[in-house]
């Protein structure tokens, strides 16, 4: 299970101006414990229904059957066409569990085309063999320009190459609404539902995240098991031990009472860097709703960004607080030999694992010394179950934040508005 270490958030570590008094924090948790109950009670309401996703065993069975059926096609590539909440969870899962270099290692390769940059699209589409590729279009609304443009391009290519649409396409969309559903019916395409009451950025544990990653070889049962485990912990824990309430309270207090509108998520793991991207959308799109409420999430990577961002983080404005993701046991151990030059002799026979660990401790301690509050999520190891825990933990945190900040965490009128203007420009041409 993930453990949260919040000692560097308190005023005895980072001072009264930047930190939180332990007693005040305990009182805040206790005062807001009813919000946890409120979220659980709302589980069948619009948006909050993400809480039910780990229980959908019939979906798991349907996906596992598809995986089996598709194995005989020996796909070289699974290509997801989707954007925002329809892509970021899958990307996070792919990198966390298959690894950022998985393209060198395993087939099928799992690609996410989440932009319409013509160079980005052309480079992939001119490289892959269409006859060896499965294309999954994911769009809840079926109206989003980017995935629909990519879908139309893909379909044309498949037709030109006289390939069977039913074999090469899967749709993941709203069960009733949207434009993909009727196309899918007409073409007899395999379709998966995105539950009506689950929004894009809360949909990673639905067919949106599960279908592509199961086809890519990820253990989706373990993923959902982890999510369920975390949901139980959140339900049963006392306020002072409740991980979601603790995370939500820290976010709220640092932003609103300590003038720290920026939240930096910094995993010491390349595999978790895109998890930071997923969280960036979750926090920004859910809570950034008016000029007064809107924490800005930033994702950074340890140790890489120690040589890029940490100067600013340490000595720059005290407008940030930090969430470190620290892996206790990496999948691999890499030991250095004894050939270091004299000045670096202390590295002889050290493991990269020891070095990255020391670097994380050094950074968190030095930020605390410079009066920057930071917390750490200690992650025992990277596997599907832990990822399930992480997704549920942060989704629950953001649901709580909606209540604390008094905003609708589940809509995105700002995103809708730009979609409308873009459509207008393109239609008038
Ligand atoms: O979180 C959200 O709701 C958005 O980011 C959507 O996922 C994104 O705009 C894509 O929408 P759709 O799945 O309808 O294509």
Render pLDDT for 377-386 as a digit per residue (tens, 0 to 9): 999 999 999 9
Pair type for strands 190-193 and 133-138: unpaired
Q: What does the pLDDT average to over 51-58?
A: 97
Check whether 206 has a pLDDT greater than 90.
yes
Q: What is the pLDDT of residue 429?
A: 59
Cβ atoms of residues 325 and 267 within 8 Å: yes
Nearest alpha carbon, ligand 1 atom 3: 200
Q: Is the pLDDT of residue 152 over 70?
A: yes
The answer to whether the 3-41+223-414 and 48-218 domains have the same CATH topology is yes
Each residue's pLDDT tens digit, 267-282: 999 999 999 999 999 9
How many A from CA of 172 to the centre of ligand 1?
12
Close Cβ partners of 15 (under 8 Å, ≥ 6 residues apart): 371
Beta-ladder partners of 376: 5, 324
Q: Which pLDDT score is estimated for 423? A: 85
Average pLDDT over residues 70-84: 95
Report, as an integer, the average pLDDT of 129-155: 96
- DSSP-derived letter for residue 222 is H
CA distance 285 to 279: 10
3-state secondary structure of 64: helix
Q: Could you state, in order of their start, the residue ranges of all structural domains in the chain?
A: 3-41+223-414, 48-218
Predicted local distance difference test score (pLDDT) of residue 357:
97
- The C-alpha atoms of residue 113 and residue 204 are separated, in whole angstroms, by 16
User: In the chain, pLDDT over 70 holds for what percent of residues?
Assistant: 100
Average pLDDT over residues 230-246: 98
- At residue 293 the predicted structure's pLDDT band, cuts being 50, 70 and 90, is confident
Q: Mutation test of ligand 1: which of 141, 180, 289, 422 has the most ligand atoms closer than 8 Å to its C-beta?
A: 141
Residue 338's pLDDT is: 83
Mean pLDDT, the chain, integer = 96
| R_g of the chain, CA atoms, integer Å | 22
Distance 416 CA to ligand 1 centre (A): 9
140 Cβ closer than 6 Å to some ligand 1 atom = yes
Cα→Cα distances 24→31, 237, 250, Å: 10, 19, 12
Q: Do the beta carbons of residue 36 and residue 244 sit within 8 Å?
A: yes
361 preceded by cis ω (within 30°)?
no
Q: Is it the case that residue 90 has pLDDT exceeding 80? A: yes
Kindly report, residue by residue over 300-346, the tens digit of the pLDDT.
Answer: 999 999 999 999 999 999 999 999 999 999 999 999 988 899 999 99
Residue 54 has pLDDT above 80, yes or no: yes
Report yes or no: 171 and 137 within 8 Å, Cβ to Cβ: yes
Contact call for residues 130 and 153 (beta carbons, < 8 A)? no
Q: Which residues of 276-285 are buried (b: 16+ CB within 10 A; e: fewer)?
A: bbbbbbbbbb
pLDDT above 90 (res 419): no
CB 203 within 8 A of CB 209: yes
Q: How far does residue 286's CA lie from ligand 1's centre (Å)?
A: 12
pLDDT digits (tens, 9 = 90+) for 375-415: 999 999 999 999 999 999 999 999 999 999 999 999 998 88
Q: What is the pLDDT of residue 325?
A: 98
Q: Determine the average pLDDT of the residues in 236-260.
A: 97
- Mean pLDDT in residue range 110-128: 96
Range 48-218 classified under CATH 3.40.50.2020: no
Q: Which CATH superfamily is domain 3-41+223-414 in?
A: Glucose-6-phosphate isomerase like protein; domain 1 (3.40.50.10490)
Q: How many angstroms is it from 83 CA to the middle of ligand 1?
A: 7
User: 290: burial class by Cβ within 10 Å (0-12, 13-18, 19+)?
Assistant: exposed
pLDDT at 428: 77
Give residue 387's pLDDT.
Answer: 98
pLDDT of 106 strictly over 90: no
Catalytic residues: 285, 307, 419
Q: Map tokens 């694992």 to a residue.
A: 353
Kindly report, residue by residue over 15-24, the tens digit of the pLDDT. Answer: 999 999 999 9
Distance between CA 154 and CA 121 in Å, rounded? 11
Nearest CA to ligand 1 atom 8: 84
């Amino acid at each position: 299970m993930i453990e949260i270490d919040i000692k560097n958030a308190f005023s005895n570590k980072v001072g009264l101006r930047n930190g939180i008094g332990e007693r005040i924090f305990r009182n805040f948790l206790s005062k807001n414990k009813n919000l946890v109950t409120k979220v659980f009670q709302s589980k069948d309401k619009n948006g909050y229904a993400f809480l039910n996703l780990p229980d959908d065993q019939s979906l798991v069975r349907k996906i596992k059957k598809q995986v089996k059926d598709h194995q005989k096609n020996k796909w070289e590539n699974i290509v997801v066409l989707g954007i925002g909440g329809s892509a970021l969870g899958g990307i996070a899962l792919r990198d966390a569990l298959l690894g950022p270099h998985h393209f060198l290692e395993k087939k099928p390769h799992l690609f996410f085309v989440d932009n319409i940059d013509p160079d980005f699209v052309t480079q992939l589409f001119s490289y892959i063999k269409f006859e060896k590729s499965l294309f999954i279009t994911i769009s809840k609304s079926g109206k989003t320009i980017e995935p629909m443009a990519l879908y139309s391009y893909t379909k044309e290519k498949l037709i030109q190459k006289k390939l069977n649409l039913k074999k090469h396409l899967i749709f993941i969309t709203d069960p009733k609404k949207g434009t993909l559903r009727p196309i899918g019916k007409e073409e007899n395409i395999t379709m998966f539902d995105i539950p009506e009451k689950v929004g894009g950025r809360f949909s990673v544990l639905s067919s949106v995240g599960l279908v592509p990653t199961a086809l890519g070889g990820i253990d989706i049962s373990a993923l959902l098991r982890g999510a369920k485990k975390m949901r139980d912990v959140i339900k049963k824990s006392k306020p002072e031990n409740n991980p979601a309430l603790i995370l939500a309270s820290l976010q709220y207090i640092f932003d609103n009472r300590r003038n720290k509108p920026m939240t930096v998520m910094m995993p010491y793991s390349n595999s978790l860097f895109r998890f930071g991207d997923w969280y960036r959308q979750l926090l920004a799109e859910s809570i950034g709703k008016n000029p007064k409420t809107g924490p800005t999430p930033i994702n950074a990577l340890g140790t890489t960004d120690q040589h890029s961002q940490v100067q600013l983080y340490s000595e720059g404005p005290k407008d940030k607080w930090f969430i470190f993701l620290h892996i206790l046991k990496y999948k691999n151990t890499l030991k250095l030999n004894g050939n270091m030059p004299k000045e670096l002799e202390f590295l002889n026979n050290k493991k990269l694992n020891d070095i990255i660990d020391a670097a994380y401790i050094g950074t968190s301690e030095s930020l605390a010394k410079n009066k920057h509050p930071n917390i750490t999520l200690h992650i025992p190891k990277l596997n599907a179950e832990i990822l399930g825990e992480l997704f549920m933990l942060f989704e629950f945190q953001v649901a709580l934040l909606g209540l604390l900040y008094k905003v609708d965490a589940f809509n995105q009128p700002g995103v809708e508005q730009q979609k409308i203007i873009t459509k207008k420009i393109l239609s008038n041409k």
